[in-house]
Amino acid sequence: MTAKIISGTETAKAIREELKAEIAELKEKHNVVPGLVTILVGEDPASQSYVTAKNKTAHALGINSKQVTLSADTSEDDLLALIDKYNKDDACNGILVQLPLPKHINEGRVLYAINPVKDVDGFHPVNVGKMVLGEQCFLPCTPHGVLELLIRSGIETSGAEVVVVGRSNIVGKPMVNLMLQKREAGNATVTVCHTRTKDMASHTRRADIIIAAAGVPKMITADMVKEGVVIIDVGVNRIGMSESGKAILVGDVDFDSVKEKAAAITPVPGGVGPMTITMLMKNTVQAARQAAGWI
Ligand code: GUN
């Protein structure tokens, strides 16, 4: 079996076209332009490229997006003051602080400071709590993107054995929660594997769907999966530089060998990555609609 390639690039493109039309209509009918502020602290090259991509996409869709870049030695108080400023700014519907933050800044304190109605990353405990309860909220962008990919690729999750590899706050934990909910792309039987899991292959071999978010290059190999598995690879690992100076990226799954056994698989790059950015745009539009009184 050679796997069907699940293209995040194509799916994201389709959603972005829908959003572009929605944003144009918001402006035309209601004079509402969604506003997003992205805040980057420091010079981590991966974070820089993610934030640049987020702003570029926002502009292309008609979102009023502003990027604020702060030096790595910015104090926590200065960052909190900036968040407070945008919490009070009506033109700003969404605030995103790129993670990870420098070690001297308390991540929890920063994320808690963002007004939950502007928390387009879905990281504030109010949104996390609502997500767990299945209430209307901002869903975190990467897990949200995975759900959309599954739905739009026609992959049945109801009753499926889903194995999530990784337990981060950004991907693993919300992914587990979303996939067990009574909702579209939910109703799965979910197992979560992590660094302390004994015999991970015994779990992954049972999986109908594997969602790999461990941050370990090519960790899932062909001998760890069953024939016909669906693979969603969230990993983006930089393993070097090409001659032209571009980062060489690989996922958490050994794509070349696993694609021979899988029914469907996301590539890296071009899989989950474009979906994450697109769901940020979707959340920003949702925030603008809410701020304008649920138009
Ligand atoms: N760092 C890695 N992924 C993300 C994300 O989805 N949002 C933010 N703010 N930082 C990240």
Task: Using the mean position of ligand 1's atoms as its centre, give its distance from the Cα of residue 47 in Å.
Answer: 8
The Å distance, Cα 210 to ligand 1 centre, comes to 21
With a 6 Å cutoff on the Cβ, whether 142 touches ligand 1 is yes
Cα Rg of the chain, angstroms: 19
pLDDT at residue number 294: 82
Instruction: Pinpoint the alpha helices (H) of the chain.
Output: 8-30, 45-61, 76-87, 107-113, 125-133, 141-152, 172-180, 200-204, 255-258, 272-291
Query: Which two three-digit tokens encode residue 175?
Result: 């992914």
Query: Is 171 in contact with 179 (CB distance < 8 Å)?
Result: no
CA distance 294 to 6: 33
Contact (CB, 8 A) for 262 and 3 = yes
Measured between alpha carbons, how far is residue 166 from residues 170, 210, 216, 284 in Å? Answer: 10, 11, 10, 27
The pTM score is 0.96
Question: Residue with structure tokens 């962008």?
Answer: 141
Sites in the chain below the pLDDT cut of 70? none
Contacts of 259 (CB under 8 A, 6+ apart): 2, 3, 5, 265
Rounded-to-integer distance, Cα 127 and Cα 148, Å: 19
Structural domain 30-116, CATH architecture: 3-Layer(aba) Sandwich (3.40)
- Whether residue 55 contacts residue 69, with contact meaning beta carbons closer than 8 Å, is answered with no
Query: Among 170, 238, 272, which is best to mutate for testing ligand 1, by the most ligand atoms less than 8 A from CB?
Result: 170
Q: Report yes or no: 267 and 236 within 8 Å, Cβ to Cβ.
A: no
Domain boundaries, the chain: 30-116, 141-273
182 is catalytic: no
DSSP 293: T
SS3 243: coil
Is the minimum distance from the CB of 279 to ligand 1 under 6 angstroms? no
- 136 flagged as catalytic: no
Is 121 considered catalytic here? yes
Catalytic choice (67, 119, 121, 233)? 121
DSSP string, 41-77: ES--HHHHHHHHHHHHHHHHHT-EEEEEEE-TT--HH
The residues pairing with 249 across neighbouring beta strands, listed in sequence order, are: 238
pLDDT score for 163: 99
Q: Name which CATH class applies to 141-273.
A: alpha beta
